[in-house]
Amino acid sequence: QVQLVEYGGGLVQAGGSLRLSCAASGSFPFNRMGWYRQAPGKQRELVAIITNGGRTNYADSVKERFTISRDNAKNTVYLQMNSLKPEDTAVYYCNMDLFVQEYWGQGTQVTVSS
């Protein structure tokens, strides 16, 4: 059973930075790894995704501010978040897929104060 555990959420002032990480239990040849977020009263949305080959894609709202990376040897995906804004406040979820099956972390709260 694959389990994803996220770390790094918290409270930060606008303009600050946070780094999220998400580690998978065991060793698996994950295809895509990504981060999603869900703000109160809103639908979950894609933040950033990275393929096994290192290709990345970002939501327009986070481009130039967030950077996604992965360490395949550690089955870990990271999200470096800079220049944070109050509208970035949400629960952030990591996601990994093994092509036919996808897995989600439990979520970590990121709160950006103005």
pLDDT of 46-94, one tens digit each?
999 999 999 999 999 999 999 999 999 999 999 999 999 999 999 999 9
| pLDDT value, residue 27 | 79
Which tokens sit at 39? 């703000």
- CA 91/CA 47 separation, integer angstroms: 11
| pLDDT value, residue 1 | 83
| pLDDT value, residue 8 | 96
Residue 52, CA distances (Å) to 10, 94, 98, 108 in order: 28, 15, 11, 24
Please report, to the nearest 10 degrees, the dihedral formed by the alpha carbons of residues 54, 86, 36, 7 taken in order. 80
| pLDDT tens digit sequence for 16-45 | 999 999 999 987 889 999 999 999 999 999
Residue 1's identity, in one-letter code, is Q
Query: 62-71 contacts: CB < 8 A, separation 24 or more?
Result: 62/88, 68/33, 68/34, 68/35, 70/33
